């Protein structure tokens, strides 16, 4: 087929786009579950294997170290070989990683498994994000991002609540991790489904494919302007607060607030559970009204006091957790699709990869730092105040989140705006 004949093809019907979305979201479900499967067994790793909080935090930090090492290459792979092949490759790596993590009680082997998970999972997220932009840009982009995150976070909800629905496996540390490896098969199933339907679409429809590949090198970073870097800054501090907190939250609720394992898991699942419902609604809202930068300011302001309420008040745990849940729903629904309005299409894969790489730099440091703080201050059931160091680390990150979102909002109201505040589904497209 020539480029002319390809351009003459019709666009995929709407139902076809949503079908592809369902398969890549299934891959994301199978990706999210093994990442979050460690938190429900954190106290079992401590009591049965003698792991310290620093070692538990390292299981999350090593994931991010791997992500930092592979994300730029992963972005190039996506731009060069396409999302169809990339999603399948990274899904297979995720499955192998989950198997290795469950295979041994040795911390070294577990670290290898979590490292492999970082090698596969984060480039997979970039590939899925790039695929969504290809299928939905100029259409229901934010809504599609929201739905994708909803289905992906169902994996986190399932992992957090596994002490309830899979309680019989929690007599030891290993069985829940074996279960996680089995569930990761769904990641491969979603990737295979996407391969089939995207391949069929390439022969029959006109897709919003990428232009010539542009490999990202560090001397080219000046091509990304201030708005992009403000979004990157917000991304780094937001995820460096939310995900490390979730890594220790179940153990924290059990030891500092006397919660049962089942209730602690439910509390932790409120964040992704609320996001499952609210993220697509927030995405639909900003698609229709714009004001994306202002909405990110609101989400950042909501995040700031939540950790202090957890650590220093007697309020019901549901209050700060609900605040975190709204912020966890709101910011990603607006932040990720906003990049597609700022970065040129031919650099979108590397733009998302760079953003995720910077995110992982923060997430590589924070879980280890929190674990080290907990160990240094003697955090545990007999010393709940030992967790205050963790609370202040997270509050400091939230403060920077407010700063970056305000700077973005100011820029997007000025002469160098990209339309984050003004573009809606009713805006005419070029």
Residue 6 pLDDT exceeds 60: no
Mapped onto helix, strand or coil, the DSSP state of residue 150 is helix
Question: Is 424 a domain residue?
Answer: no
**Can you give the residue range of the structural domain that contains 121?**
13-207+216-412
pLDDT bin (cut points 50, 70, 90) of residue 101 is very high
Question: Is 43 a domain residue?
Answer: yes
Burial (CB count within 10 angstroms: exposed 0-12, middle 13-18, buried 19+), residue 214 = middle
Among the listed residues 25, 187, 179, the one whose alpha carbon sits nearest the alpha carbon of residue 90: 187
What's the number of domains the chain is made of? Answer: 1
Section 89-117 average pLDDT: 96
Question: Is 174 a domain residue?
Answer: yes
C-alpha count within 13 angstroms, C-beta hemisphere, residue 125: 26
Question: Is 427 a domain residue?
Answer: no
Is the full-model pTM beyond 0.75?
yes
The whole-number pLDDT of residue 56 equals 95
pLDDT bin (cut points 50, 70, 90) of residue 213 is very low
Question: Is 420 a domain residue?
Answer: no
Which domain CATH number covers 70?
1.20.1250.20
Write down the residue that tokens 């995900």 correspond to. 243
pLDDT bin (cut points 50, 70, 90) of residue 287 is confident
Question: Is 54 a domain residue?
Answer: yes
More confident position, 231 or 341: 231
Spell out a b/e string for 16-44, using b for 16 or more CB atoms within 10 Å of the CB, else e: bbeebbebbbbbbbbbbbbbbbbbbbbbb
The whole-number pLDDT of residue 427 equals 61
CB 287 within 8 A of CB 420: no
Question: Is 421 a domain residue?
Answer: no
Q: Work out the number of other CB atoms within 10 angstroms of the CB of residue 428.
A: 4
Question: Is 240 a domain residue?
Answer: yes
pLDDT bin (cut points 50, 70, 90) of residue 100 is very high
Which tokens hold the place of 386?
A: 């030992």
pLDDT bin (cut points 50, 70, 90) of residue 206 is low
The whole-number pLDDT of residue 69 equals 85
Spell out a b/e string for 103-138, using b for 16 or more CB atoms within 10 Å of the CB, else e: beeebeebbbbbbbbbbbbbbbbbbbbbbbbbbbbe
The whole-number pLDDT of residue 341 equals 84
Section 277-303 average pLDDT: 86
Mapped onto helix, strand or coil, the DSSP state of residue 175 is helix
- The string of pLDDT tens digits covering residues 108-119 is 999 999 999 999
C-alpha to C-alpha distance for 113 and 102, rounded to whole angstroms: 8
């Amino acid at each position: 087929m020539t480029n002319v004949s390809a351009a003459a093809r019709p666009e995929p019907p709407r139902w076809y786009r949503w079908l592809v979305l369902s398969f890549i979201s299934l891959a994301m479900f199978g990706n999210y579950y093994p990442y979050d499967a460690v938190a429900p067994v954190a106290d079992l790793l401590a009591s049965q294997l003698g792991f310290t909080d620093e070692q538990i935090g390292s299981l999350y930090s090593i994931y991010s170290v791997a992500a930092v090492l592979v994300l730029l290459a992963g972005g190039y792979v996506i731009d060069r070989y396409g999302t169809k092949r990339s999603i399948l490759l990274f899904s297979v790596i995720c499955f192998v990683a989950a198997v290795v993590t469950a295979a041994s009680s040795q911390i070294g082997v577990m670290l290898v498994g979590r490292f492999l998970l970082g090698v596969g999972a984060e480039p997979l997220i970039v590939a899925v994000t790039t695929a969504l932009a290809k299928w939905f840009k100029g259409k229901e982009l934010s809504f599609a991002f929201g739905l994708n995150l909803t289905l992906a976070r169902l994996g986190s909800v399932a992992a957090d609540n596994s002490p309830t629905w899979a309680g019989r496996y929690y007599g030891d540390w290993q069985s829940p991790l074996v279960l996680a490896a089995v569930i990761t098969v769904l990641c491969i199933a979603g990737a295979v489904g996407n391969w089939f339907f995207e391949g069929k679409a390439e022969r029959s429809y006109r897709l919003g494919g990428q232009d010539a590949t542009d490999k990202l090198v560090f001397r080219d970073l000046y091509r990304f302007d201030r708005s992009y870097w403000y979004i990157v800054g917000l991304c780094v501090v937001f995820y460096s607060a939310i995900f490390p907190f979730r890594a220790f939250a179940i153990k924290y609720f059990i030891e500092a607030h006397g919660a049962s394992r089942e209730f602690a898991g439910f509390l932790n699942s409120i964040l992704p559970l609320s996001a499952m419902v609210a993220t697509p609604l927030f995405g639909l809202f900003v698609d229709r009204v714009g004001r994306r930068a202002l909405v990110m300011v609101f989400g950042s302001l909501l995040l700031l006091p939540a950790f202090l309420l957890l650590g220093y008040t007697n309020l019901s745990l549901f209050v700060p957790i609900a605040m975190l849940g709204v912020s966890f729903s709101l910011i990603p629904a607006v932040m990720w699709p906003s990049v597609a309005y700022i970065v040129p299409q031919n650099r979108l894969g590397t733009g998302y990869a760079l953003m995720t790489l910077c995110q992982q730099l923060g997430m590589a440091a924070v879980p280890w730092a929190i674990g080290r703080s907990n160990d240094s201050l003697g955090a545990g059931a007999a010393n709940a105040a030992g967790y205050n160091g963790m609370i202040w680390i997270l509050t400091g990150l939230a403060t920077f989140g407010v700063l970056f979102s305000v700077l973005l909002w100011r820029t997007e109201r000025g002469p160098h705006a990209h339309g984050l505040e003004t573009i809606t589904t009713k805006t005419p497209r070029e």
